[in-house]
Structure 1
């Protein structure tokens, strides 16, 4: 079975037979898979009230029953503080989140989901799980677990979040 990375590898192998291309094959596939999954998610969210990055904020808040501070959301969603601020403003205007002064430090805010935001996060998350399951359909349950384990081994040393 061939994919784009197979073609890229073959081209590079022809140009530079002296190079070990195994890292390009693995990382390239992870990056391509992520880009394609983002596209699939973006397309699926076309009719939703939120963009994919905004959905990521809603999902992070749904996992955190007491809410999160903006800098925590920035880490959780691997984005910039400016992007987080923009997303929070948009989600607050849409009535999906609230920002209240933090109980210990009033200079900080605590971001929480509104009831409507929690309901939307649940609906969107269910759809996302379905899309991801369809994407992994070529793998049996053992292969899915093995893939998850291998990716965790690679990600854990570099993921500071």
Structure 2
């Protein structure tokens, strides 16, 4: 295992080395994968926020816009919430902000005025169509050096880990 001053070691390797020194009886091997997944996620979100900054929307706001764009029809707020990793309260707050920015609109359902449907405005759709390719390019950059076969293997493994995590949350 790497030492704390190993220049070639990444954050997770250095963290595991510190745990090994502090608690040698502890098996920190899950950090090798899950620690890296969490670290990559945090770094990816930071990079995505940076990429989206010129557009004037946050990553969470962009998630709402993307949910509406891929929905193929106007959606209820609860449908946006279920197709993103946002809470209902966050969806409400974000949709209010996006509406005031002119990127989405709220319309009442004709047959039941209690139901509010959210949809993209032309400006909202244009923002998604412009920014999504930029975000995907950023994601591709993170995968530099990982060939297609390894990406498929990694995706399969991560689907299993994701299913395990979702099961654990429900238990």
TM-score when scaled to structure 2?
0.86
Counterpart in the other structure of 1:62: 69
Distance 1:145 1:103 in 2: 45
Counterpart in the other structure of 1:115: 122
Answer with 1 or 2: which has the greater Rg: 2
Counterpart in the other structure of 2:98: 91
Counterpart in the other structure of 1:156: 163
Comparing 130-139 and 69-78, the one that deviates more: 69-78
Distance 2:34 2:18 in 1: 17
Distance 2:149 2:74 in 1: 35
Correspondence 1:12-91 to 2 at 5 A: 12-91=19-98
* Offset, 1:105: 4.1
Q: Unaligned stretches of 5+ in structure 1?
A: none
RMSD between superposed Cα atoms in Å? 1.7
Counterpart in the other structure of 2:131: 124
Pair 1:102-2:109 in alignment: yes
Distance 1:157 1:109 in 2: 35
How many equivalent pairs are there?
160
Distance 1:68 1:74 in 2: 10
Counterpart in the other structure of 1:134: 141
Deviations 1:85-122 (A, max 9, x none): 11101111111111112356432211111122111111
Q: Secondary structure at the match of 2:34?
A: helix
TM-score when scaled to structure 1?
0.91
Comparing 133-142 and 67-76, the one that deviates more: 67-76
Distance 2:109 2:27 in 1: 51
Distance 1:14 1:102 in 2: 62
